[in-house]
Amino acid sequence: MNIDRFLGSKGIPALQSILLRWKPRSRRSNSKASLQRSLRSAMLDVKRIEQHLDGLHSPETLLLRAILLSPTASVAWDWQLPRRLAVDERRLEAARERLTDVGFIGNMPLNAWEGGRQTIFVPDELAERLRNLLDIDLRPPLQVVSLRGYVEALEPDRRRELLEPFGLATLADDLDRVTSELLCPDAVLARIERQDAEFRTIFAEVLHEYQGIAPSAAVFHDRRQAAREWRSLAEAALLGTVCELPLHVFGIDDAGPHLVLFREVCDALSTPRAGDATAGLEIAAAGADFLVDICMLCDEASDHPLRVTQSGKLFKSVVRRLLGVFVQSETLGRDQRDLLLLKVMIAKDLNLLRLNERKGLAAARHYAKWEKLPIEDRVAELHRGLMKTRGRQSDKSPVIRRLLAELAGMLPGQWYDALVPVRRTFSNLMLDARTWQQQRMPDDVPLPKHDYVHHHNFTDVCRALFRSVVPDLQALGLVDVAVEPEAPACIRLTPLGDCVLNDDPLRRSAGGAPGIGLIVNPDFEVLAMPDGDIHLTPASAACCHLQYSLSRFCERAKSTHQTHHYRISRRSVERAVVRGMTADEMIDTLRRNSAVPVPQNVEYSLRSWIEGVRLATAQTVCLLEVPDEDAMQVVLGLPAFSPLVIRALSPTAVIIKSIPRERTILEALRKIGVHLTFPMEDIAGTEDDGDDEYWAG
């Protein structure tokens, strides 16, 4: 709607009230035509508009910007608008009344064909001037976030003029060649060095403190002219731009123009760090500890079912027993008890634990099959179970899926800035939207969902997503994190994470762990000593195999920055034999990875301990008795009944696996004159203990 129709829709009292705000000293007229002429000239005066803008409060500015970001300079006034702008409904209603009184916006009547929604708008001529004053442009995300998109959108003559200082004017039509030349790290650094010291300081601040997107008000402190000058310099150097970003969809309440560094420029400067980048930092590296603890948990549940209370929680004595055998003491942001709860929940979800008839947690039959899978497959299942337990499955959440893809694309073993993969994730989300009106944050993003509570800047959002996802991956040994006293500093993908996140069998390694040397002492202590710092090769697939193999027949004593300490004991060896490990496997693991010969007393003790183990089988069976031997022969001759038979005790009694309850078996027995009778406690049927819904921790 143009300004003439906008003013013509108002009555004389409303026009007089608006004119009093724009021209306080003007003569009060009762002529509607005269009022319209006076208001038109005043409302299109840039200086008067700027004066009224300076008098607006934060909610009013936020609402006005939301309207101007629409190509039609109008938005629907509905219940979603306050939540979208992170402003309380009462404050937003007061802001609308204030803008209406000033004459910045108008209200269209309800339209039944549009669902009865009221629309608020800014007149066309006024909207154009407001956008210029507020530095609002309607460029799509691709032209703002991406260097290629920015260059591609330029007119051919303007593109050649912009590329001329870099000697690329003749290649203006070959965008692939142009972008590859411009985004070489040396070329990016050279363009930065050509700028003055103030520009370089602001560039470094935006890149490192704001992850490439910084509110202009925080950098320039509302100096609009300085922001315009920086924009012209950044665009001339093809490093970034300044524009309006509706980042409230990401949980950011920063309103106004933002300094944006092109995504490709940030990626070119986010190269892997040098080897000494983590010097003096604490390294959080889990390796195969999570997998070992899951196996320990299931082994303990197999030996002695874990007692639980009526409310479904583990007894304190059970918790102390489990914490005593677990090798993973704590991870990034979680202590032992939180990890115990997480491991129990995942084991239950993966059907590794079940609730038995005595209401205790016992190892399920599926655990025996799961234990025979390769380590990479088991860790992959734990990863899927962890995502399911957290309620954000990677195949359903676009944000989680993108973040995992960014992590999988990193070079294994190379350190990166901690927030680099998260920043790339959000940049890709922005590029997916053709217009800012299409930009919507998916509902399953792990960010706070409270009404009117948003984060302050883009870095805070990146840190929130990092804290929500990365600690779980670190606990599984898929990534390592270098931690500063206040926050994570660096992140790297482990070779095990490379196998799991990329789901590529060719990436898997087997056999010994190069660079890892074992020292087996005569006192049964085993030291795992890598070449140099233990965190330089902590979670390679081969090293995880070695950690897991040692944990099967050794007890973890302690870990330092230089060694892992294990101890071979009779109890740990006997437990490994029960799990199916032989003496040759244990000794071969020590010999193949040991830097010195294995002491003879260790080998002798291992074999003697193993020879002293006698395996016995205990199982619940059923007894079937018939009155005579001939009837038993007829029963055993039934094809449907023979799979149930374990062994015969006497000519008239056999041991069977379970009470036959299938209709086909009962009918076959009745046809030969055999009718089964059951004890009173079995008439109601047995309890199915395989699929109980259960929570414990």
Query: Is 66 in contact with 59 (CB distance < 8 Å)?
Result: no
- 542-574 tens-digit pLDDT: 667 777 788 888 887 776 655 778 889 898 888
- The conformation of residue 598, written as its DSSP 8-state character, comes to P
Per-residue pLDDT, averaged over 609-625, amounts to 82
Query: E strands within 92-177?
Result: 106-111, 117-121
Burial of 552 (0-12, 13-18, 19+ CB in 10 A): buried
Q: In terms of residues, how long is the chain?
A: 697
Residue 239, pLDDT above cutoff 90: yes
Taking phi over 0 as left and psi of -120 to 50 as alpha, with beta for the rest, 491 belongs to: beta
Asked whether the predicted pLDDT for residue 525 surpasses 50, the reply is: yes
pLDDT at residue 374 greater than cutoff 60: yes
- DSSP class of residue 334? B
Contact status, residue 210 vs residue 457, Cβ threshold 8 Å: yes
- pLDDT, tens only, 82-91: 766 767 888 8
Determine the Cα–Cα distance for residues 87 and 95; give it in Å rounded to an integer. Answer: 10
HSE toward the beta carbon, residue 565, CA cutoff 13 A: 8
* Contact by Cβ (8 Å): 249, 445: no
According to the model, what pLDDT value does residue 240 have? Answer: 92
pTM check: above 0.75 = no
Q: In this predicted structure, what is the pLDDT of residue 323? A: 82
- pLDDT for 248 equals 61
Gap between the Cα atoms of 227 and 217, Å rounded: 9
| CA proximity to 491, closest of 465, 456, 517 | 465
CA distances to 152, 185, 304, 535 from 162, in Å: 12, 19, 74, 47
Over residues 482-508, the pLDDT tens digits come to 888 777 888 988 888 888 888 765 455
Two structure tokens written together for 581: 């490990």
The runs of H, that is alpha helices, within 103-140 are: 124-133
Q: Which whole-number Å values give the CA distances from 26 to 6, 420, 490, in the listed order? A: 21, 58, 64
Residue 685 pLDDT exceeds 70: no
Burial 201-214 (b: 16+ CB within 10 A, else e): ebbeebbeebbbbb
- Residue ranges of E strands in 494-571: 516-520, 525-530, 555-559, 564-567
Q: pLDDT (tens digit, 9 = 90+) per residue, 123-165?
A: 988 988 888 887 777 777 788 888 998 999 889 899 999 999 9
CA dist., res. 207 & res. 458, Å (int): 11
- Counting residues of the chain whose pLDDT is more than 70, the rounded percentage is 83
- Take residue 665 and report the two structure tokens written for it: 């078996």
pLDDT mean across residues, the chain: 79
